[in-house]
């Protein structure tokens, strides 16, 4: 595996690249599907818990993975982060041959504010991923109250070109209410966009992969561990969507 960092146009914006090596022993894996990981952090920061741990899950399932650390803070209001996401996706597509990636099988996954950015990339942007994965996403405009700067409600921009979606959330989430996911799912349905959604009964906001490494306290892991089911469910959904090339 190759791991390296590409600097993007805006200050302090990077794309960490994890790319599988080619091997004569595995000729059926000459090319890979890919996932662009977009961490949360309220547009104040990019959460490490929703960055590399997520990338490693997809890597272990045969995907190449890219972690975007985008523009954050009050001095980098929306749509500046969207510009970063567009640039990252464009770079992956343009260098698909070099990086042995299918240019038309690239998913984006985002969490919380990163979920908003992923949904924006999937609706507002002129360049869109081939699938979107949203973890407890901020969708509604009123979520601006808890973010670094105002955001547009991306539910308003779902259209016939919006890519298929996988959504997961906890009904207990007191930071980003499940109405965000439910509203987005309704808009997807109205536009005949395929989606799969899983709502967990228990789980705090920001559970990431729900493994011990993403929690500071053992009791937090114990409480949230059932939410880890989203990972295999998502991999199964994405494998089927991308025609089983990673199965």
- Helix %, strand %, coil % for the chain, to 5? 35, 20, 45
CATH pick for 2-241 out of 1.10.10.10, 3.30.470.20, 1.10.3720.10, 3.40.50.1820: 3.40.50.1820
| Omega within 30 of 0 (cis) for the link into 79 | yes
Quick one: three-class SS letters along 86-152?
HHHHHHHHHCCCCCCEEEEEEEEEEECHHHHHHHHHHHCCCCCCCEEEEECCCCCHHHHHHCCCCCC
From first to last of the 247 residues of the chain, give the pLDDT tens digit: 999 999 999 999 999 999 998 776 666 678 999 999 999 999 999 999 999 999 999 999 999 999 999 999 999 999 999 999 999 999 999 999 999 999 999 999 999 999 999 999 999 999 999 999 999 999 999 999 999 999 999 999 999 999 999 999 999 999 999 999 999 999 999 999 999 999 999 999 999 999 999 999 999 999 999 999 999 999 999 999 997 644 4
Rounded to 10°, the helix 230-241/52-59 angle is 50
The number of residues making up the chain comes to 247
Strands 2-7 and 14-19: antiparallel
Place of tokens 């059926």: 28
- Among residues 160, 157, 67, the alpha carbon closest in space to that of 116 is found at 157
Q: Hey, where are the domains in the chain? A: 2-241
Report the distance separating Cα 52 and Cα 208, nearest Å: 11
Question: Residue 13 corresponds to which tokens in the numbers above?
Answer: 């914006």
Longest dimension (CA), the chain: 53
Q: Provide the total of helices (H) and of strands (E) in the chain, helices listed first.
A: 6, 8
Residue 111 · residue 102 · CB < 8 Å: no
Q: From residue 10, how far is each of 31, 77, 117, 214 by CA, in Å?
A: 30, 13, 16, 28
62-89 pLDDT, tens digit per residue, is: 999 999 999 999 999 999 999 999 999 9
- Rounded to whole angstroms, how far apart are CA atoms 165 and 19? 24
β-pair partners for 35: 65, 107
């Amino acid at each position: 595996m190759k791991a390296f960092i590409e600097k993007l146009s805006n200050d302090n914006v990077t794309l960490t690249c994890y790319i599988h090596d080619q091997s004569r022993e595995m000729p059926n894996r000459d090319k890979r599907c890919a996932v662009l990981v977009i961490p949360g952090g309220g547009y104040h920061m990019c959460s490490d818990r929703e960055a590399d741990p997520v990338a490693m899950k997809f890597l272990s399932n045969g995907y190449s993975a890219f972690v975007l650390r985008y523009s954050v803070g009050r001095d980098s209001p929306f749509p500046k982060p969207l510009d970063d996401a567009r640039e990252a996706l464009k770079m992956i597509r343009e260098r698909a041959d070099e990086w042995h990636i299918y240019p038309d099988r690239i998913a984006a996954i985002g969490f919380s504010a990163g979920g908003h950015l992923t949904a924006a990339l999937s609706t507002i942007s002129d360049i869109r991923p081939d699938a979107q994965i949203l973890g407890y996403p901020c969708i509604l405009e009123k979520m601006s109250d808890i973010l670094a700067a105002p955001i547009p409600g991306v539910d308003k921009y779902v259209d016939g070109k919006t890519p298929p979606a996988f959504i997961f959330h906890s009904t207990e989430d007191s930071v980003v209410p499940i109405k965000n996911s439910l509203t987005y799912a309704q808009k997807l349905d109205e536009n005949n966009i395929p989606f799969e959604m899983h709502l967990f009964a228990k789980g705090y906001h920001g559970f990431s992969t729900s493994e011990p490494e993403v929690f500071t306290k053992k009791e937090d892991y114990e409480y949230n561990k059932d939410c880890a089911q989203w990972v295999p469910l998502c991999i199964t959904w994405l494998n089927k969507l991308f025609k089983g090339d990673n199965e």
